């Protein structure tokens, strides 16, 4: 009985760790330590992925867990990145900066609300709209690039403003993104190949660049797959 209760608590503990990372990210941003703030957001992404995975593996998913996870996500991937965006790059453009940061926040909140409504109704293979952890991860990865690459050391407010609004639009869009929840390695040679390639690239590239590439590829993958699927349907309709 005690073991069962312990397993039920593990996902909530991981969600709490996610929440703590988001809170620490805000504190670091207020201190203008944006590198540490970015690291905190990325660690929160890891905890966010683990809590759901552990809940499914231990069959301890619950409505409480879904709601708690969303509240933690709103802080870690909505409030924290919005504040970081504004203090790091958008403050020089005045009202346009804080409006763009707020747009990122409100679109993230709408994305989470839509996800909660669609739990159990939509396909587990895809998300509708860019997941908010991916959007926050992209923001964090841009800061990491600035720490190690001179070309990104000084954020361009207008460019970052465009990035913030673009990520916000993708979050509330109807574009499908792969969830990878049902990913199975057994008998899937290409998945094993991916796992072998990633460490190789990690050795060749700097970790900061690798993180940015991973988030960037995932963000672009949704629109690209949508366009490819649309063209395929067009060809099939013409063939008939």
Model confidence at 18, in pLDDT bands (50, 70, 90)? very high
pLDDT higher at 190 or 8: 8
For residue 155, what is the domain's CATH number?
A: 1.20.120.1760
| pTM for the structure as a whole | 0.85
pLDDT at site 191: 53
Model confidence at 65, in pLDDT bands (50, 70, 90)? confident
Domains of the chain: total: 1
pLDDT at site 1: 43
Backbone angles phi, psi at 176, to 5 degrees: -85, 135
pLDDT (tens digit, 9 = 90+) per residue, 130-154? 999 999 999 999 999 887 666 567 8
Residue 20 domain boundaries: 2-239
What's the alpha-carbon Rg for the chain, to the nearest Å? 19
pLDDT higher at 60 or 17: 17
Q: From its phi and psi, is residue 61 left (phi > 0), alpha (psi between -120 and 50) or beta?
A: beta
| Stretch among 4-13, 54-63, 125-134, 194-203 having the lowest mean pLDDT | 194-203
Residue 239 has pLDDT above 70, yes or no: no
Mean pLDDT across the stretch 175-194? 62
> Is the CB of residue 32 less than 8 Å from the CB of residue 87?
yes
Q: What is the mean pLDDT of the chain?
A: 85
């Amino acid at each position: 009985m005690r073991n069962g209760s312990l397993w039920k608590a593990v996902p909530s503990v991981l969600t709490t760790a996610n929440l703590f990372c988001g809170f620490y990210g805000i504190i670091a941003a207020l201190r203008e330590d944006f590198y540490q703030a970015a690291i905190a957001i990325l660690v929160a992404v890891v905890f966010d992925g683990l809590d759901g995975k552990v809940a499914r593996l231990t069959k301890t998913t619950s409505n409480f867990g879904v709601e708690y996870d969303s509240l933690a996500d709103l802080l870690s991937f909505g409030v924290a990145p919005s504040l970081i965006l504004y203090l790091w790059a958008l403050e020089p453009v005045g009202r346009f900066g804080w409006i763009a940061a707020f747009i990122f926040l409100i679109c993230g909140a709408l994305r989470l609300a839509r996800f909660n409504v669609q739990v159990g109704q939509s396909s587990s293979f895809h998300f509708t709209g860019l997941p908010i952890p991916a959007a926050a991860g992209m923001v964090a990865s841009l800061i990491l690039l600035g720490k190690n690459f001179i070309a990104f050391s000084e954020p361009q407010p207008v460019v970052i403003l465009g990035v913030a609004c673009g990520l916000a639009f993708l979050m509330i869009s109807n574009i499908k993104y792969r969830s990878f929840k049902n990913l199975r390695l057994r008998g899937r040679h290409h998945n094993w190949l991916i796992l072998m390639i990633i460490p190789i690239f990690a050795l060749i590239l700097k970790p900061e660049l690798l993180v940015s590439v991973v988030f960037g590829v995932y963000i672009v993958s949704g629109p690209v797959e949508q366009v490819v699927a649309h063209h395929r349907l067009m060809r099939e309709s013409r063939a008939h």
